Amino acid sequence: MLKKLSFLLLFSFSLSAQKFSHADSLRGSLRPARTSYDVLHYDLKVKVDPEKTYITGSNIIQFVVKEKTKQIQVDLFSNLTIDQIVFENKALTYRRDGNALFIDFPRVLLVKQKHQIQISYQGQPRKAVRPPWDGGFSWTKDPAGKPWVTVSCEGLGASAWWPCKDHPGDEPESMDIRIEAPKGLMAVSNGNLVASTPTPFGTEYHWKVQYPINTYNVSVNIADYAHWSEKMIQLNGKPLDLDYYVLQSNAEIAKKHFQQSQEMLRIFEKYFGPYPFPKDGYALVETDYWGMEHQSAVAYGNHYKNNAYGFDFIIVHESAHEWFGNSISCTDHADLWIHEALGTYAEAIYLEEKSGKEQAQSYLNGQKNNIKNRFPIIGPYGVNYQSPDSDMYFKGTWMFHTLRSIVADDKLWFSTIKDFCLTFYHKNTNAEEVLNFFEKKLNRNVKAIMSYYLNRADIPTLVYQLKEANGVYTLRYKWKNVPGEIDLPIEIKHKEGLGERIHPTDTWQQIKLTEAPEWDFEHFLFQVEKQI
């Protein structure tokens, strides 16, 4: 998900002042009641009543026991009522602790055993305040006055509307999603539509996901949708189903505007490998909020507008998350930068392939202006952490752009990006694994500088002194705030544009030049400070 800057500025807060509650710990930590089991499959069934802003549902959770236990934790917001939790045809007892449910079994469950429970529930789910950033259910109307229902819950958590193990480290291997919508409306969710069944209330739409999926990616979109499909032959020669769901009044403009999605998908396939969810296909679904990376059902709400560079960045950014965030997923909210830094960097890669390096560099320079350097990109682990600003997007992007410039070998760089996508295909990972991967693949010490950008609020500051005598310039330089073991080469321009790389350390060095140097800010994330 891409956060809107004005919203971030309005709602940003000091990390030092951020207090993590008991509820945050229950939501973000991996305690025995969670580590004792691994989710295999969710079978979610939800009836959505727009008139009453009410949902009634159930979820069958299939799991395998990893550590013997008599209790597990499942999450569901406290404003939703539990009707019953059933195990082996008997009702289970449970204890609520805020939004967490601690469910007791009649016996100890043993390692490697597979079981399932069914949780039935109902209530009025949290209404979205400012979706998708402050999310929940959005109960709106389309231009014709018909109900339009959408869900956004990244950060807020999927447990705001359905019972699940609401932690990024555990994704089900597959999922069934059954959404019952009122008469005359269509319910669109993730994966493939396998059945639509009339009910007294309207129609139940059965969607099936055949891959692991983040819980926050599970989506509900209900409207009077127009729908069309097409097939795209990927670069690997395999067909991919593309589906589009938009409001009836937007069908014509959408058919033209969404044509850019095929070119985008081919570019991403070239640089990141094949589309990660081929059996589920790719879809764009119109929503009443800006956008979200809902897996195989990407939420789109940018009103069919291209930016100054000729593309719709919501389509590009949210679709890039199919690789970065949906296929490759973090194991803790503290590492959400893995999703967002690479998802944002993919925009520049797309533009470079489409319009050249100069346009891509201009685009990156615009993003650079949004870097705040107020908080570390990586947050605290084991709590329900949400980043207070946009640096995991733009500073994260510039970290990768700086790495590319350090390596100065585009063939190696882009092969490393693709290898990263293939190595971590459908896997959860963390900062340590990602940094180790890039260091090994690039065969140079980049882990230290990556850790610097991720774990510190500031950026490298180069201090220098420049003196001229008889037409010869003496340049003295060192890092002000970078440990000596970090090798971050800097390019200086002199002699009518010719470049030279220097390797500052935390002690003074000097070189002599025939003319005053110019610092290359174009390709590296650092700042300079002149000393007299």
pTM, 2 dp: 0.94
Backbone angles phi, psi at 459, to 5 degrees: -120, 165
Cα-Cα end-to-end distance for the chain: 45
CATH class of 461-530: mainly beta
3-state secondary structure of 125: coil
Homologous superfamily of 23-223: tricorn interacting facor f3 domain (2.60.40.1730)
Per-residue model confidence as pLDDT tens digits over 239-291: 999 999 999 999 999 999 999 999 999 999 999 999 999 999 999 999 999 99
Q: What pLDDT score does 495 carry?
A: 66
Per-residue model confidence as pLDDT tens digits over 377-408: 999 999 988 888 899 999 999 999 999 999 99
- Is residue 241 a contact partner of residue 282, using CB atoms and an 8 Å limit? yes
Token pair for 245: 């769901």
Q: Where in the chain is the domain with CATH 1.10.390.10?
A: 328-455
3-state secondary structure of 376: coil
Per-residue model confidence as pLDDT tens digits over 165-194: 999 999 999 999 999 999 999 999 999 999
- Nearest in space to 491 (alpha carbons), one of 390, 432, 406: 406
**Residue 473: its H or E element:** strand 472-479
Q: What pLDDT score does 193 carry?
A: 98
Token pair for 6: 């004005």
Looking at residue 168, the DSSP 8-state letter turns out to be T
- Is residue 68 a contact partner of residue 108, using CB atoms and an 8 Å limit? yes
Q: Provide the percentage of residues in the chain whose pLDDT is more than 90.
A: 88
- Nearest in space to 7 (alpha carbons), one of 160, 137, 131: 131
Per-residue model confidence as pLDDT tens digits over 191-234: 999 999 999 999 999 999 999 999 999 999 999 999 999 999 99
CATH architecture designation of domain 328-455: Orthogonal Bundle (1.10)
Per-residue model confidence as pLDDT tens digits over 3-23: 433 333 222 333 434 678 888
Assess whether pLDDT exceeds 80 at residue 126.
yes
